A and B are shown apart, each in its own frame.
Chain A
Amino acid sequence: MTVKVRFFARFRELLGTDIPAEPEEGATLLSLVRDLARKRKEGYDAIFDEHGNFHEFVIVMRNGKRVEHGDAAAVRITDGDEIAVFPPVAGG
């Protein structure tokens, strides 16, 4: 299966964007984003805490719908999914 992961703002600087991925059957939203983020430690640390959970301020969406962090480990990725991961931009 093929899915697309879009990182935004700081996450995009660290990890790139519009990343096509071919996760294995049974992959979850959490495992997919973790695997992609692992390619660069700074990127991983920007998104995940030391326990491998999303930082509380990180917004995760699947096909335009917000996914609660607590559900990310249970949400199975399906073919064609589009995942967005972004931080609130804060400056003014």
Chain B
Amino acid sequence: MLSERERERYKRQIMLFGDEGQERLKKAHIFIAGAGGLGSPVSLYLAVAGIGTITIVDMDTVDQTNLNRQILHADRDIGRKKAVSAGEKLCAINPDIRVHAIDTRIDEASAARLIGNADGIVDAMDNYPARYLLNDCAVRKKIPLFHGAIRGFYGQATTVLPGKTPCLKCIFPKAPPEEVFPVIGVTAGVIGTVQATEVIKFLLGSGDLLTNRIFVWDGMAGRAEEICAERISCCPACGGLTHETGGRKK
């Protein structure tokens, strides 16, 4: 049940999807991998939307060079753990939700346990080995994966419903070389907001998800494009998986 306070807080979006939709958001648990450039807008918008439980994981410390884009963190947070900083900001911006901010590395040993039985996994990582790990967990647990990535003024996003739509390995089978990538905060803002929108649509069970296609943003051209994506039958991650995706709250 929504409290009076919650009904007031979410009044303007309850106009869009009613108490029932807001209840769905409240019952949901979303796992956000990373509290950096993408994790910042994703977590802030999911928090203010009233996602009932948010787990956000990051092992890094806030550095001055993060502050052009990682809007969860302020100048005074330099030197502090990102998880601690993120937990404080998200609780402050919406005390009506539960936030689990965890300072740890997401690796093969910890990923499945950290994700638990979340309703969705948000990929806010900055490298493909970590993304493939999230993808494997999403496929194994049949939890949707909301992918985003940025470089400079370019960004991409797609949504994976394991067993139904192309997974990250189907779309990007090989990781690009690692690099210190140039980036500006507005690109993280665009792509992170697209990812958060996907999470909300999935939980509400409405709208057209970014499945079977990649949303590609070119900020300099001021143009969004789409690229088709298909499942690969011999995909090492999801090949042969046919089950319906679970996790959607009814």
Question: For the complex, what is the distance from the CA of A91 to the CA of B127, rounded to whole Å?
Answer: 6
Nearest Cβ distance between residue A14 and chain B, in whole angstroms? 12
The answer to whether B38 and A92 have CB atoms under 8 Å apart is yes
Question: For the complex, what is the distance from the CA of A87 to the CA of B126, rounded to whole Å?
Answer: 15
Report which of A9, A10, A59, A84 forms a contact with B172, defined as CB distance below 8 A.
A59
A39: Cβ under 8 A from any B Cβ: no
Chain A residues with CB below 8 A from B183, complex form: 91
The answer to whether B228 and A90 have CB atoms under 8 Å apart is no
Nearest Cβ distance between residue B6 and chain A, in whole angstroms? 31
The answer to whether A61 and B149 have CB atoms under 8 Å apart is no
The answer to whether A92 and B218 have CB atoms under 8 Å apart is no
The answer to whether B151 and A91 have CB atoms under 8 Å apart is yes
Chain A residues with CB below 8 A from B177, complex form: 57
Q: Mark B194-234, 1 if CB is under 8 A from A, else 0.
A: 00000000000000000000001010010001011010100
**Which residues of B (154-205) have their CB < 8 Å from a CB of A?**
154-156, 171-172, 174-179, 181, 183, 188
Question: For the complex, what is the distance from the CA of A61 to the CA of B243, rounded to whole Å?
Answer: 28
Q: What are 16 residue pairs bridging A and B, where the CB atoms are less than 8 Å apart in the complex?
A: A9-B156, A9-B216, A13-B152, A59-B172, A66-B232, A86-B216, A87-B176, A88-B128, A88-B149, A88-B175, A90-B127, A90-B178, A90-B179, A91-B151, A92-B39, A92-B150
The answer to whether B216 and A92 have CB atoms under 8 Å apart is no
Chain A residues with CB below 8 A from B171, complex form: 59
| Closest partner residue, chain A, to B154 (CB atom) | A9
- Interface residues on chain A, number (Cβ under 8 Å): 21
The answer to whether B154 and A57 have CB atoms under 8 Å apart is no
Given contacts A90-B179, A92-B37, A92-B39, 12 further A-B contacts (CB under 8 A): A8-B227, A9-B151, A12-B154, A57-B176, A64-B228, A65-B230, A66-B232, A87-B176, A88-B172, A89-B155, A90-B175, A91-B126
Chain A residues with CB below 8 A from B179, complex form: 90
A25: Cβ under 8 A from any B Cβ: no
Question: For the complex, what is the distance from the CA of A87 to the CA of B216, rounded to whole Å?
Answer: 12
Chain B residues with CB below 8 A from A50, complex form: none
The answer to whether B37 and A57 have CB atoms under 8 Å apart is no
The answer to whether A88 and B126 have CB atoms under 8 Å apart is no
Q: Which one of A8, A9, A89 has the greatest number of beta carbons of chain B within 10 Å?
A: A89
Question: For the complex, what is the distance from the CA of A8 to the CA of B154, rounded to whole Å?
Answer: 9
The answer to whether B174 and A89 have CB atoms under 8 Å apart is no
Q: Mark A75-92, 1 if CB is under 8 A from B, else 0.
A: 000000000101111111
Report which of B34, B124, B150, B178 forms a contact with A89, defined as CB distance below 8 A.
B150
Chain B residues with CB below 8 A from A57, complex form: 172, 174-177
**Which residues of B (114-164) have their CB < 8 Å from a CB of A?**
123-128, 148-152, 154-156
Q: Mark A1-40, 1 if CB is under 8 A from B, else 0.
A: 0000000111011000100000000000000000000000
Report which of B172, B181, B232 forms a contact with A91, defined as CB distance below 8 A.
B181
Nearest Cβ distance between residue B25 and chain A, in whole angstroms? 24
B21: Cβ under 8 A from any A Cβ: no
Report which of B151, B225, B232 forms a contact with A90, defined as CB distance below 8 A.
B151
The answer to whether A92 and B36 have CB atoms under 8 Å apart is yes
The answer to whether B227 and A90 have CB atoms under 8 Å apart is no
Chain A residues with CB below 8 A from B36, complex form: 92
